[in-house]
Amino acid sequence: MAAAFRYTIYGLAVRSNQPLPAPQAPDEGPVDLDIHISARPDRSLDWSGPEPVYAGTESLWRLDDHTWRLGYTDHRSGARWDLTCEHGARITIRWTEGISIPDLRTFLLNSAVTIALHLRGTPCLHASGVVVNERGALLLGPSGTGKSTTAAALVAAGSELLTDDIAALDLRRHRVRVQRGHPRLRLLADSAAAMNECFDRLPPVWTDPSFSTKRYLDASADAGGRRRAPVELGVVYVLTPRDAEQGEPAITPLAPREALRWLLGYTYGGGWLDAQRRARLFQSLARVTELVPVRRVHRGDRLADLPKLVDMLSEDAALVTAPCPG
């Protein structure tokens, strides 16, 4: 690879031939994932051959058991791009005219790296997370349930950002760890308000606002891009849809069987997995529910109640993650 930019993303040592919007890491040590972005547009971007597993704005091909391709189409302009991931160790990106390269690089930090993690057998949840008492607290749920807003408020209250939107899990014999994610908080206007940040002054996540109007805040702890140790997972909170009828926020424990249903439902990129990988994911997440408490969070839809929710989560997480006596 002629030019090399080094990063640490979700526990992987990444090398790219083009710069990515992430803190660079020292150019040393072995590489887990190589990313090669084509320098010029591909006029044809031929997708003939095997039938895709599914097709649409996003299309998926499983070229073999260890090689997957994701293709994306902008139906407004006809522009396309794709990524091919081999063995979770190399990603090749092709693109046509009309694709925003800055947006493509941003996208790589989500879908591209996550598909590599899945091919490497790493479970990934659609979750944001913070560090409380040196242990991780994950906020799980679909888009729109306030994961980033709640994480932003917790960070503003003194917690450290662990990851935003994707949680890559590292299962050990008697514990679960969370890899540190991209140190950016993606914020909507109400999320920025939760951190007392001026939304209009924050840089946009995407150059094309049709993707999202979110802006981002750099929440890195100044690690210089070095590979920082993963954090032991202490608790998972499931954020249910906001309920206008809900009074005071409430936190209730979930039995392992019900907790597993939530974790499976909010796996990041779960639709990419074949039957064999889904079976392994089921076993991994069942193990998570045995080792880590999972709680459901009920709250109303008033932003004014967010400080109360943050206090409740902080106190609960501190109790759950407190070291055992002796």
Q: Decide: helix, strand or coil at residue 131.
A: strand
Give the Cα separation of 318 and 234 in Å (integer). Answer: 9
Asked whether the CA dihedral 170, 173, 176, 177 is positive or negative, the reply is negative
What is the residue extent of each domain of the chain?
Answer: 5-119, 124-320
Q: Decide: helix, strand or coil at residue 199.
A: helix
Distances, alpha carbon 102 to alpha carbons 21, 79, 93, 212, in Å: 8, 15, 13, 14
Give the Cα separation of 82 and 71 in Å (integer). Answer: 4
Give the Cα separation of 98 and 87 in Å (integer). Answer: 29
Write down the pLDDT at residue 67. Answer: 96
Smallest Cα–Cα separation from 288: which of 199, 191, 170, 180?
170
CATH for the stretch 124-320 = 3.40.50
Give the Cα separation of 51 and 234 in Å (integer). Answer: 42
Rank 71-75, 100-104, 230-234, 304-308 by mean pLDDT and report only the highest: 230-234
pLDDT tens track for 114-155: 999 999 999 999 999 999 888 999 999 777 777 888 888 898
Give the helix ranges, DSSP H, for the chain.
101-107, 113-119, 147-156, 189-194, 256-265, 275-291, 306-320
Rank 32-46, 276-290, 292-306 by mean pLDDT and report only the highest: 276-290
Q: Decide: helix, strand or coil at residue 86.
A: strand
Give the Cα separation of 142 and 146 in Å (integer). Answer: 9
pLDDT tens track for 247-265: 778 899 999 999 999 999 9
Write down the pLDDT at residue 3. Answer: 64
Looking at the predicted structure, is the pLDDT value of residue 326 above 90? Answer: no
The amino acid present at 318, given as its one-letter code, is A
Taking residues 305-317, report their average pLDDT: 88
Looking at the predicted structure, is the pLDDT value of residue 221 above 70? Answer: no
Write down the pLDDT at residue 223. Answer: 45
pLDDT tens track for 38-85: 999 998 788 988 899 999 999 999 999 899 999 999 888 889 999 999
Q: Decide: helix, strand or coil at residue 271.
A: helix
Angle subtended by helix axes 256-265 and 275-291, to nearest 10 = 140
Strands 167-171 and 294-298: unpaired
Write down the pLDDT at residue 325. Answer: 46
First to last CA, the chain: 52
Strands 33-37 and 90-95: parallel
Least confident of 123-127, 232-236, 241-245: 241-245
Write down the pLDDT at residue 225. Answer: 45
Cβ–Cβ < 8 Å for 193, 202: no
Smallest Cα–Cα separation from 236: which of 220, 254, 219?
254
| pLDDT tier for residue 231 given thresholds of 50, 70 and 90 | very high
Looking at the predicted structure, is the pLDDT value of residue 303 above 80? Answer: no
Residue 196: Cβ-neighbour burial (10 angstroms; 0-12, 13-18, 19+): exposed
Q: What is the dihedral of CA 34, 38, 39, 42, to 10 degrees?
A: 180
Which of 223 and 204 is assigned the larger pLDDT?
A: 204
Smallest Cα–Cα separation from 126: which of 105, 101, 143?
143
pLDDT tens track for 164-216: 889 999 998 889 999 998 878 888 887 787 778 899 999 998 888 888 888 98
Cβ–Cβ < 8 Å for 290, 104: no
Cβ–Cβ < 8 Å for 302, 309: no
- For the record, the structure tokens of 185 come out as 């908080």
Give the Cα separation of 295 and 277 in Å (integer). Answer: 26
| pLDDT tier for residue 321 given thresholds of 50, 70 and 90 | low
pLDDT tens track for 84-95: 999 999 999 999
Count how many residues are written for the chain.
Answer: 326
